[in-house]
Structure 1
């Protein structure tokens, strides 16, 4: 029965089983279609970097020149290879190298490297469900876990070997570890928080921003203020962890951090990536509300509704149905706001405020603020717990189980169907609030951005259709397709170029990079073959005809 759960042994056992169940469901879900998601823009570079890390690790373990392998020049050559395209700290690539080495021969090269993200997602699902259950009982556990696993865009990133899924898990681990320590003083939580923070610092510059929301909830949380010295120890240990797992910082720790911060704060000139939003292409700076709108239109409407309920229930200063469990890590005193809800609201507000700054990059959908989404799932779990509590108190005993079950199915049934039907185009998902992908396209939102829609099935059709030696103009770039040729995914006799026109055009619908000729093709020419999601074209192969194209350009 979904209801209240005490902190006793039986309750902890049930919670552990439910949390493990969510982790297993996450793992199974991602593994079943891991190879169906197209190789994304960044993955070839990250996978090649992971190859180099594997070779370096072999030199360190087997010798004979271990000292040379640990030298500064060798480390720079391995871990800072092709810096412009591979600028992030290396912890996530180290995990890729490990899973690729362990499972690549069985799963395949791409799937082996992607397994690292799958594992991080599974750990996130289990940990989040556990924390929500400790706070709000079985209903909180089920609600938060279900909300997390019905976020299609989050699931999409769990299928990709890149920075975003590991950073999301590390950020969450650091936050709940710090909050758990602040509430209880237990060293296990302190250690978990330090590991999470350290790995976040060693994965992406975004990890260096972790202290900002943490300081905010420490100031607002009475218990946390009393343990500020221990939290400083946690932060210090996090820096040590970051140094240990990042070879680039071994020889020049201060210089490395200075270089990383400089590059990351100068994105507008170093990597100025444009964004297509509400029917307009923005060069780098987007309207302040872009991240808020993208949050609201890329989540199932049930998750948004439950999140709103969770905020309302958790921020009231009174004890009541569904309040934090007495004796748990997140136990609130009477008259105290729900600490986990407070922390989650601060995290969401932080990312929205951060992305509203003109100096912040906003490209690639919700990717750059993905660490926010587990906290939305927590808020949804709180809302589900609140709703279940109201049902249990207002429905006769004999109908409670049926009522709670119907409540859960009504909220999470449609969201589950949507998430399943989004496969393998998870990153093209839009929620009911904007009318799905088709409604988003009508309202001028980006259809796709990362080459993930170039599924193996579509590329196999391209291989079958194109004549031998065909020249193909690829948009927005050609290097990606040359790399796919090197991997044997595309035929080696094909010639890919960025020059336009060519006898064939393979157009990827990243509208932020479209020029007038791409808009004409996309809007007015029917592709020979295409990838579509909910009727929206994500990629298409076109046969070029100058005469037909010139006619289109002259027509109104």
Structure 2
């Protein structure tokens, strides 16, 4: 049935989804390369863990301002909650599963929570068929599947945003004071996870204006917001010192003072890109059939389901709208990660409604037609994901002709350094002792993390135009032409004139990664 009148199955579905997704992601994590941001969060988590351990042993002396600043200052441009989680779950596992494996396992658990939350919420409102389709469709989106393994902030940020919204909706008819308090606590944890959770307010506010203008819900938003601010500060020891100044500095940072991250778009490095970048990028990286079926799902919602499904629509669109208004921070699809789970809900609903329409039934789903429809929806994305594997950040949808079409449009072929690991494996096997390897700016931490983890040879000297490592390891600034090897990734924003000249010289690479005839990475051996 498309409607589920009870919640008896919620617990076992939650357990199965959580365990199943965690196992799936863990079994597929090994080939996926470390990304640019992860080492910074690993180092912060290690610092947090040391502070927690000392606090347990030494007590209140660890609350002195100087000590708080020493342990919590690093990476204070981002809220602490994910790093709390990585510190408590990931750091203790480093000796067991390695540096990269430990923190990625912690991240995988959060991704499994996200899938579970969306599936269970959908189960309770529109039934098991839609919920099952939602989970499968979400995991068959290649870009999301990659992000679900990564020890960064983007999927946890989506989890925080979505949990706040769904909690508000599911308990909208409960008037008890504790619901408002709990909503505020959940929202505060969300903002302490990633600032994107602030968009809970416009999302539920717009839904409230359209569907349910009861006064106590407005009060819940106001009071819950005040509680959220208190929880946000309480969860972040960095803010316990000089609170007013640091909170002001943080708010300025996330609004106007963040360092600028340009976006490569249609052959140009732009800051900002055009207002329509976010929705266009969403179309480019979302499997076309899933997108179409999701649109259908949003349109054909039955009256009993419209309140929920239109909240899902608003939740999917809000992150895109936030980027459309204005920003100086872009990084492809990372900043609208919540779009994908919400789209999966709509696609699951669209599929199930389509099956009911074909059978001219009001509530009995023919499982054979449902399975066939699901295969048609996820078949192409799965095929393309296998073809791109393990470089899923190079996936582009059929809407622009896949990766070859993206190359013709002069889009990035890859990004976030995820291809580097294959280059390091090649160099570890083939480069002479103490070889110098030129890498792109701001990329030191990826090879250094692999060296700490034992995957990349320690004698290899990674050099670049800059010289900074979050691990405090020795870095060397060196011009490209001075290095023994040059690694070029096809993320064009950070190409220098020297990079372009080297690629244009038609010098044959000693190693390259290609997908669908399109280069993702090349290694050049210099004389």
TM-score between the two structures when normalised by the length of structure 2: 0.89
CA contact (8 A) 1:478 1:497 kept: no
Deviation at 1:249, TM superposition (A): 2.4
Deviation at 1:55, TM superposition (A): 0.9
Structure 2 unaligned spans of 5+: 465-478
Matched, 1:479 2:444: yes
Question: Which of 39, 56, 63 is 1:61 aligned to?
Answer: 56
Point out 4+ residue stretches in structure 1 off by more than 6 angstroms.
186-189
2:398 is matched with 432
Question: Which of 502, 506, 520 is 1:538 aligned to?
Answer: 520
Deviations 1:437-459 (Å, cap 9, x if unpaired)? 2221121111222111223x442
1:166 is matched with 156
| Equivalent position SS for 2:368 | helix
1:281 is matched with 269
Question: Which of 38, 51, 61 is 2:33 aligned to?
Answer: 38
> Would the alpha carbon gap of residues 449 and 69 (structure 1) be closer, same or farther in structure 2, given more than 3 Å must change?
same
> Would the alpha carbon gap of residues 534 and 187 (structure 1) be closer, same or farther in structure 2, given more than 3 Å must change?
farther
Supply the RMSD in Å over aligned alpha carbons.
Answer: 2.6
C-alpha distance in structure 2 between counterparts of 1:522 and 1:30, whole Å: 36
C-alpha distance in structure 1 between counterparts of 2:181 and 2:386, whole Å: 36
C-alpha distance in structure 2 between counterparts of 1:422 and 1:192, whole Å: 43
Deviations 1:494-520 (Å, cap 9, x if unpaired)? 232221213321112221111233234
CA contact (8 A) 1:274 1:513 kept: no
Matched, 1:198 2:178: no
Equivalent residues in 2 for 1:349-360 (5 A)? 349-360=317-328
| Equivalent position SS for 1:368 | helix
| Equivalent position SS for 1:475 | coil
Q: Which range is displaced more, 441-450 or 381-390?
A: 381-390
Question: Which of 463, 477, 492 is 1:511 aligned to?
Answer: 492
C-alpha distance in structure 1 between counterparts of 2:177 and 2:416, whole Å: 41
Question: Which of 307, 311, 325 is 2:294 aligned to?
Answer: 307
C-alpha distance in structure 2 between counterparts of 1:507 and 1:124, whole Å: 34
Deviations 1:180-231 (Å, cap 9, x if unpaired)? 2224447786566434321221123323343222222222222655522233
C-alpha distance in structure 2 between counterparts of 1:420 and 1:27, whole Å: 20
Matched, 1:529 2:517: no
> Would the alpha carbon gap of residues 434 and 190 (structure 1) be closer, same or farther in structure 2, given more than 3 Å must change?
farther
C-alpha distance in structure 2 between counterparts of 1:170 and 1:247, whole Å: 20
C-alpha distance in structure 2 between counterparts of 1:471 and 1:445, whole Å: 30
2:468 is matched with none
> Would the alpha carbon gap of residues 534 and 198 (structure 1) be closer, same or farther in structure 2, given more than 3 Å must change?
farther
Q: Which range is displaced more, 113-122 or 245-254?
A: 245-254
> Would the alpha carbon gap of residues 93 and 287 (structure 1) be closer, same or farther in structure 2, given more than 3 Å must change?
same
Matched, 1:376 2:343: yes
CA contact (8 A) 1:200 1:207 kept: yes
Equivalent residues in 2 for 1:4-23 (5 A)? 4-8=2-6, 12-14=7-9, 16-23=11-18
| Equivalent position SS for 2:150 | coil
Deviation at 1:526, TM superposition (A): 3.0
Equivalent residues in 2 for 1:407-446 (5 A)? 407-446=373-412
2:100 is matched with 110
1:468 is matched with 433
C-alpha distance in structure 1 between counterparts of 2:80 and 2:291, whole Å: 34
C-alpha distance in structure 2 between counterparts of 1:392 and 1:103, whole Å: 51
Structure 1 unaligned spans of 5+: 325-337, 546-556
C-alpha distance in structure 1 between counterparts of 2:443 and 2:132, whole Å: 45
Equivalent residues in 2 for 1:211-230 (5 A)? 211-222=201-212, 225-230=215-220
| Equivalent position SS for 1:538 | strand
| Equivalent position SS for 1:112 | helix
| Equivalent position SS for 2:420 | coil
1:257 is matched with 247
Equivalent residues in 2 for 1:240-255 (5 A)? 240-255=230-245
C-alpha distance in structure 2 between counterparts of 1:417 and 1:401, whole Å: 23
C-alpha distance in structure 1 between counterparts of 2:212 and 2:352, whole Å: 24
Deviation at 1:232, TM superposition (A): 2.9
C-alpha distance in structure 1 between counterparts of 2:387 and 2:9, whole Å: 31
Deviation at 1:19, TM superposition (A): 4.6
CA contact (8 A) 1:288 1:357 kept: yes
Deviation at 1:150, TM superposition (A): 1.4
CA contact (8 A) 1:117 1:158 kept: yes
C-alpha distance in structure 2 between counterparts of 1:7 and 1:186, whole Å: 23
| Equivalent position SS for 1:490 | coil
TM-score between the two structures when normalised by the length of structure 1: 0.85
Number of aligned positions between the proteins: 510
Question: Which of 309, 315, 318 is 1:347 aligned to?
Answer: 315
C-alpha distance in structure 2 between counterparts of 1:52 and 1:404, whole Å: 49
